């Protein structure tokens, strides 16, 4: 048992400062799987080490994607390990052999959580979702369902379901992204509007967006060149500003 602070310090450096120099990295399997099961930031940090063991040392982790799916909560867009988490999640979801129901569950959950996410996170997650559609065309039914019900009175997706296969994500639609098309930040609204058109085959590069901060977003807006908008107006005359108004004969504006 390690204190939470020490757990985080160890997991931050484990994947690049410890595992490559061990003769038998598989000895860390139990430590990393237990850390992955703790939840919160510790689980996010354990992903790096688990990825190396899964990718290079044939570690089999039962219910790995179920656990990864349940790590998605509202705080995921705010933690300082956000860039690392989404980089690894992108790798784990890159396989074209994943079932459509699983990818659809991730898409739907990310979209639902995006409704309360800050703009800098939205500018990263919307291209992230678009890339998932490119890799898994079967999930595009979430955007366009030709033979679907004429009227969907409620969303069949079950947000509280921990098992992705039982979430009914493939029966739903991405109304959340459509809602973001009316977002107050123009860049977010523009990014969300991409799903109204046919997606290109080339994936979007999200590496430069993973660590986008609110300060960078604000700084970019401040540095934009202002466009002079010509204005035309009539000078107000009288109380109600109408020409030949009876009030203009008896009242005047100082």
State the pLDDT at residue 126. Answer: 92
247 has pLDDT over 80: no
Rg of the chain on CA atoms, in Å: 25
In a domain, residue 154? The reply is: yes
Q: What percent of the chain has pLDDT over 90?
A: 15
Give the range of the structural domain holding residue 124, as residue numbers without chain letter: 98-228
- Does 145 score more than 90 pLDDT? no
User: How many domains, in total, are found in the chain?
Assistant: 1
List the one residue out of 99, 173, 175 whose CA is nearest residue 140: 173
234 in a structural domain: no
Please say whether the beta carbons of 159 and 126 come within 8 A. no
Q: How confident is the model at residue 245 (pLDDT cuts 50, 70, 90)?
A: low
Q: Is 18 among the domain residues?
A: no
Question: Of 82 and 236, which is predicted with more confidence?
Answer: 82
Does position 134 have pLDDT exceeding 80, yes or no?
yes
pLDDT in tens, 178-208: 899 999 898 899 999 988 888 888 888 888 7
In a domain, 189, yes or no: yes
pTM (2 d.p.): 0.75
Domain annotation covers residue 52: no
For the stretch 92-122, pLDDT in tens is: 888 878 899 999 999 999 999 999 999 989 9
- Residue 176, domain member (yes or no): yes
Domain assignment of residue 65, yes or no: no
Q: Is 221 exposed, middle or buried (0-12, 13-18, 19+ CB in 10 A)?
A: exposed
Residue 213 lies in a domain: yes
């Amino acid at each position: 048992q390690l204190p939470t602070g020490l757990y985080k310090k160890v997991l931050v450096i484990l994947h690049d400062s410890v595992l490559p120099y061990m003769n038998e990295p598989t000895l860390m399997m139990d430590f990393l799987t237990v850390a992955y099961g703790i939840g919160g930031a510790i689980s996010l940090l354990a992903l790096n080490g688990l990825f190396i063991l899964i990718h290079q040392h044939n570690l089999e982790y039962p219910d790995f994607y179920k656990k990864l799916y349940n790590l998605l909560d509202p705080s995921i867009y705010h933690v300082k390990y956000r860039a690392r988490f989404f980089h690894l999640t992108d790798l784990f979801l890159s396989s074209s052999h994943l079932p459509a129901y699983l990818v659809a569950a991730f898409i739907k959950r990310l979209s639902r959580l995006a409704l309360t996410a800050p703009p800098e996170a939205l500018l990263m997650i919307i291209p992230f979702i678009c890339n998932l559609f490119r890799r898994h065309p079967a999930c595009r039914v979430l955007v366009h369902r030709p033979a679907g019900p004429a009227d969907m009175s409620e969303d069949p997706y079950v947000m509280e379901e921990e098992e992705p296969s039982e979430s009914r994500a493939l029966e739903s639609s991405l109304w959340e992204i459509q809602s973001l098309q009316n977002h107050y930040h123009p860049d977010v609204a523009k990014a969300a509007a991409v799903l109204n058109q046919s997606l290109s085959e080339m994936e979007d590069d999200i590496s430069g967006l993973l660590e986008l901060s609110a300060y960078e977003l604000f700084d970019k807006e401040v540095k934009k060149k202002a466009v002079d908008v010509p204005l035309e107006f009539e000078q107000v005359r009288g109380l109600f500003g109408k020409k030949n108004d009876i009030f203009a004969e008896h009242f005047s504006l100082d």
